[in-house]
Structure formats: structure tokens, C-alpha cells
Amino acid sequence: MAINGGLLRVMVVDDHPLVRAAVRQAITSPGIVVVGEAGTAAATLAEAPLLKPDVILLDIGLPDESGLQLLRELHDLLPATQIMALQKKWEAIGPVPRAKTKDINKQFWSAFKVFFSKKSSFFKKLDELRQQNLALKKELVAQAEALKNNSAEWEKTANALKALQVKWKEIGPVPDKVRESIFQEFKAACDHFFGQRRATLDAADKEQQENLMKKEAICSELERMVNEGTGTLGQLKEMQRSFHAIGFVPRTAMNGIKSRFNTATEKLMASLSGVSQEEKDKAMLEIQVENMKTDPDASHKLHVREQTLRKQVTKAENDLAVLKNNLEFFARSKGKNAEDLRADVNQKIEAAAAELAKLKSQLKVLRTAQ
């Protein structure tokens, strides 16, 4: 008899619904499943070929046809399912000649014993399969236990446990006496991890919402200063430090709050009075550097910005050297034109020197930030 997915598939045929229900309840177990019922011979002939049960439990007395006649009709369709009714059929048949009794009994009961031997073999294989399944599930429990306290990598661990849950469902039944206990062990390990993860994520969400409210308050204060024409460079720097000291905000609000802060900062910086442009430029660079430091790719971006400034410094130094050489050349010249040229070159040298000092100051800010 073939094992269909580790289960013995049974069909119950009896004309009394209560009897069918009682038989179903009596035989149903982790290794046996009732795949169908019928109350008449006609219904049995229609459904049995479709259900293809391993065993049919058949009542001899059916309303539309003798159960013994139905046995003969089922023989060609499902010969392996006739045995559970043969004993009743044998007992219903009258006596045979005494000389033949011993031989005919021997043939029948030998065949009967073969069936139950195969039935025993079936359940032995089923028990072995359940033990193998139990070993597999114990291994999954061990893996889940090893993962349940791994809070360092929430997503990676969650995916690993979900994969174990899929494997658990793919493994067949285990011995009935440990079925519930082994499941509860596995479930407890999974529940422990996902409970911790849920609590941590909920706390993180709450904290990020609070951080967003703090950053919005800073932006509102900056915007108020812009509208009222108040505020100092010192206040701006302090609010900039406070803004960046606040932790993460919800991902969906990240770009919006950052853009709002940058816009308010630029407007307040432009509105400041009594502050030189050089001071404003330096302050804006400091703010930009702080913004970059919060970026996941901060190291690379700061490095690129530094290299760009170094190239600009080198170019400014070269331009200044050329201007100084030109000034030496014009110093040997005489006349009104020469004086005008020297004055023009001196102005350019002053501008170039100022630009070089500005670039070096910016480079110093960047190097300090790293």
C-alpha cells in the first residue's frame, strides 16, 4: 500500500450519517485522514474513483445495492480498497464442502494476514517518517533559539526566522505525543524575537516623531527671526548645532525637514546685519559641512569637497605668483602708463590674496570637520 504524503486516506461508506460520523471520529488521527463519505452504492461509484482512497470502510447493507455487489463493481476500479469489507463478505457466505473448508480458509486468511502485515509496515514507515520530521523540527527550534536574542541586525534576523517558519510548514507531521510541545517551543522562540523587535521599532518610531517635533520647533524659531529681522550669527550657530544634535526623524520626513532648515538658515544668514560677507561665507560653509556629516556617504562627500578646495587653492596660489611676477616687471618701467599698470596689478594681487585666504580658511574648516 502506498503512503500518500505520509497519510492513510480512507473513505467511509454507510447508509447511516450517524454511523459515518462515529467512524470518522474514531479513526481520524495524525496518520489517517477521511477523504470522503457516501451513503449509497451510486454515490460510492461516483466519488471513489475521484478520491482514490487507500482504504474503503464499506457497510454490506446499502439501500440501493448490496454491499457485496458493490465490492465486485469496485474491484476493477480500486482493487486495493476492497479488503476492509471482505471479512464481512466471508462471514456472510454459507458453509462450503467439508473437504474444501481447510484449504479455502487457509487461502482467505493468508491473504487477510498479508494485508494487515502491509498495514503494519505502512504505520512503521509512517512512525519512522514522523521521527525524521521530529529531528528536523528540533533542528529548526535550535536555530530559532540561537537567533531569538539577536537584536544587532533586526531585519536580517527577522528574514532568517521567517525562512525557518516556511521550512517548518514544509516538514510533515511528528509523533502525536510531542506535536504540540515541539510547536510551542518553536513558536516561543519566534514570538520572543518578534516581540522584542516590535517593541524596539515602536520605541524608535516614537523617538523619531519626537525628534521631528524638536527640529520643526527650531525651523519655526529661525523663520520667526527672519520675519521679525532679529537674530545673531551666534544664535544661528547655536541653533544649527542643536538641530544636528537631534537624532533621526521618520524617513518620510527626512528630506522635507532638512530642506526647511537649510532654507530658513540661508534666509536668516542673508538678513544678518553687522556681519561681514567673509564671516557669513565661513558660517554657511560650517553649516553645509554639518549637513554633509549627517549623510550616509559623508566621508566620500567631504573628501571630494576637500579635493576641490585644494585645487582651487593651488590655482589661486599660481595666479597670485603670476601677478607678483608681473608687478616686478612693471616696477622697472617708467611713465604714467606704467604707474597705472602697477596700480591695477596691485589691486588684483590684493583680491587674489583675499580669495586665497578665503579658500584656505574654508579648507581649514573642512579639515577640522574630518
Residue-wise pLDDT tens digits, 11-68 = 888 887 777 777 787 677 777 788 999 999 999 999 998 988 888 887 767 888 877 7
Residue finishing a domain among 150, 173, 190: 190
Sign of the CA dihedral with 267 first, then 268, 272, and 275 last:
negative
Strands laid side by side in the 32-38 sheet: 32-38, 8-13, 55-58
Q: Is residue 183 part of a domain?
A: yes
Residue finishing a domain among 94, 113, 141: 94
Domain containing 157 equals 128-190
Which candidate, 287, 286, 299, 224, places its Cα nearest to that of 258? Answer: 287
Residue-wise pLDDT tens digits, 235-267 = 888 888 899 888 888 888 988 998 999 899 889
Q: Is residue 338 part of a domain?
A: yes
Cβ-based neighbour number of residue 95 at 10 Å: 6
Model-level pTM? 0.42
Q: Do 247 and 257 contact (CB within 8 A), yes or no?
A: no
Non-local (6+) Cβ contacts of 75 within 8 A are 82
Do 133 and 87 reside in the same domain of the chain? Answer: no
Is the pLDDT reported for residue 189 higher than 80?
A: yes
Domain of 27, CATH number, reads: 3.40.50.2300
Q: Is residue 122 part of a domain?
A: no
**What value does the mean pLDDT take over residues 332-345?**
71
Q: Which of 73-82, 276-285, 337-346 has the lowest mean pLDDT?
A: 73-82
> Would you give the DSSP letter of residue 173?
-
* More confident: 306 or 348: 348
Residue-wise pLDDT tens digits, 149-174 = 887 788 899 999 999 999 999 998 88
Do 370 and 315 reside in the same domain of the chain? Answer: yes
Is the pLDDT reported for residue 2 higher than 50?
A: no
Do 16 and 85 reside in the same domain of the chain? Answer: yes
Q: Which residue has the cell 450519517?
A: 17
Do 19 and 90 reside in the same domain of the chain? Answer: yes
Query: Please, is 283 exposed, middle or buried when counting C-beta atoms within 10 Å of its C-beta (0-12, 13-18, 19+)?
Result: buried
Q: Is residue 157 part of a domain?
A: yes
* pLDDT (0 to 100) of residue 284: 74
Q: Is residue 43 part of a domain?
A: yes
Residue finishing a domain among 190, 208, 226: 190
Do 304 and 368 reside in the same domain of the chain? Answer: yes
Q: How many domains does the chain have?
A: 3
Sign of the CA dihedral with 333 first, then 339, 342, and 344 last:
negative
Do 307 and 350 reside in the same domain of the chain? Answer: yes
Q: What is the CA radius of gyration of the chain?
A: 45
Q: Is residue 174 part of a domain?
A: yes
Among 48-52, 127-131, 215-219, which range has the highest average pLDDT? 215-219
Q: Is residue 209 part of a domain?
A: no
Q: Count the residues in the chain.
A: 370
Q: Is residue 213 part of a domain?
A: no
* pLDDT (0 to 100) of residue 139: 95
Is the pLDDT reported for residue 369 higher than 60?
A: no
